[in-house]
């Protein structure tokens, strides 16, 4: 394992110290338990947004703490859910009296821990709503599985709901907006290489030198199929076809197209993918009216990408365009 670390046991702690040192203008890092909160929290009268999950997906979630996005992020160990006491502490730290929205990615551990945290917070008299994000079309949703995983739509929901909270919209409305973003988003990812969890020291899964995995999860969970590496043109077809068919997205729709790096894929390749996606959607009469391109929801050093499409209306577009000032996303402020 080659990594720029000191000790595998200290990776999360030392990264948090680095984040604190780099971004103290916008956020504060709390310890015991670990949490990242807005520097000016709690913001009185504003619905507070709390998200969290295992570490290793940076900049999500800690990099999205700041004006116009999250009030707090709870970082767990690498790929391991944070704990309810940690989420409760974050919820208490940022509650400005207007209630708290928990944005939860659909993984069994994250969901169970956030449910317990919400129970504890409500017992403390804090109004909490939770929305579970489940946009990954690689997983068949059914009563007999844990359901779809939460991936790229999480970033979009955090941005759009953050903007709504800044407008002082009430908790129920911000939560409903979060459900709307989730309901109108679909994603799928792929990997060219595995990733290595520092504490494990070896790749999470084996992928042959000329193989790729289509439908990979952000923790290296298995996808739909393993096959020989194909061109960017063909990969976009393999990812975007099930996305478009699932919602479905159809001619005349305006979308936000989010092309994300899994961590190890460079921007130049993301633009090649974006170019293919632009043609793919144009051929179907679907217009990209907003885009996001870069490493935003990563899986350590995994090479690969994911595509997320969100069907936009005027309200979602305006909230997407609203000012945001976080270490990971910044415009208009």
Partner 1 sequence: MPVSYSQASDWIRAFAATVAENKVYLTELDSAIGDADHGINMNRGMQAVVAKIDGMSGPDIGALLKTVGMTLVSTVGGAGGPLYGTLFLQMGTSAAGKSELSADDWAAALAAGVAGVQSRGKAELNDKTMIDALAPAVAALQAALADGSTFDDALRRSAEAAEGGMKATIPLVARKGRASYLGERSAGHQDPGATSSWLLVLGAAEAFTGQQAGN
Which residues sit at the interface with partner 1, rule CB under 8 A? 33, 76-77, 79-86, 107-109, 112-113, 115-116, 139-140, 144-146, 149, 199-200, 217, 219, 221-222
Torsion angle in degrees (nearest 10) through CA of 180, 186, 191, 195: 20
Catalytic residue (one of 23, 57, 61, 102): 57
- Residue 138 or 244 with smaller CB distance to partner 1: 138
- Residue 110 or 253 with smaller CB distance to partner 1: 110
The least distance separating partner 1 from the CB of residue 116, rounded to whole angstroms, comes to 5
- Residue 166 or 221 with smaller CB distance to partner 1: 221
Nearest to 153 by CA among 171, 128, 178, 172: 178
Catalytic residue (one of 61, 102, 219, 279): 219
The number of beta carbons lying within 10 Å of the beta carbon of residue 235 is 21
Cβ distance 186 to 308 under 8 Å? yes
What's the rounded Cα separation, in Å, for the pair 245 and 258? 17
> 3-class DSSP state for residue 32?
coil
- Residue 108 or 167 with smaller CB distance to partner 1: 108
Residue 57 annotated as catalytic: yes
Burial class (CB in 10 A: 0-12, 13-18, 19+), 19: buried
Cβ distance 21 to 13 under 8 Å? no
Nearest to 110 by CA among 151, 158, 69, 171: 151
Looking at the annotation, which residues are catalytic?
57, 219
């Amino acid at each position: 394992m080659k990594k720029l670390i000191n000790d595998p046991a200290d990776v999360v702690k030392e990264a948090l110290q680095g984040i604190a040192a780099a971004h103290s203008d916008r956020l504060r890092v709390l310890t015991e338990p670990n949490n990242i909160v807005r520097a000016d929290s709690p913001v009185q009268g504003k619905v507070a947004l709390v998200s969290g999950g295992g570490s290793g997906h940076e900049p999500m979630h800690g990099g999205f703490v700041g004006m116009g996005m999250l009030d707090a992020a709870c970082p767990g160990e690498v790929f391991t859910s944070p704990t309810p006491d940690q989420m409760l502490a974050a919820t208490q730290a940022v509650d400005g009296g207007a209630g708290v929205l928990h944005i939860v990615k659909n993984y069994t551990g994250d969901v169970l821990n956030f449910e317990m945290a919400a129970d504890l917070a409500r017992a403390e008299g804090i109004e909490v709503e939770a929305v579970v994000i489940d946009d990954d079309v690689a997983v068949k949703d059914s009563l007999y599985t844990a359901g779809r995983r939460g991936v790229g739509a999480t970033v979009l929901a955090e941005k759009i709901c953050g903007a709504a909270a800044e407008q002082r919209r009430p908790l129920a409305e911000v939560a409903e907006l979060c459900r709307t973003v989730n309901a109108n988003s679909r994603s799928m990812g792929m990997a060219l290489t595995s990733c290595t969890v520092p504490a494990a020291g070896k790749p999470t899964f084996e992928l042959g030198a000329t193989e790729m995995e289509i439908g990979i999860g952000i923790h290296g969970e298995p996808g739909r199929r393993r096959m020989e590496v194909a061109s960017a043109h063909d990969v976009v077809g393999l990812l975007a076809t099930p996305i478009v068919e699932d919602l479905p997205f159809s001619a005349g729709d305006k979308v936000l197209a989010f092309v994300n790096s899994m961590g190890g894929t460079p921007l130049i390749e993301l633009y090649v993918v974006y170019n293919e996606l632009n043609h793919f959607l144009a051929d179907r009469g679907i217009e990209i009216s907003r885009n996001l391109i870069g490493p935003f929801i990563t899986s350590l050093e995994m090479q690969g990408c994911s595509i997320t499409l969100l069907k936009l209306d005027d309200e979602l577009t305006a909230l997407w365009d609203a000012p945001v000032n976080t270490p990971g996303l910044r415009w208009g402020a």
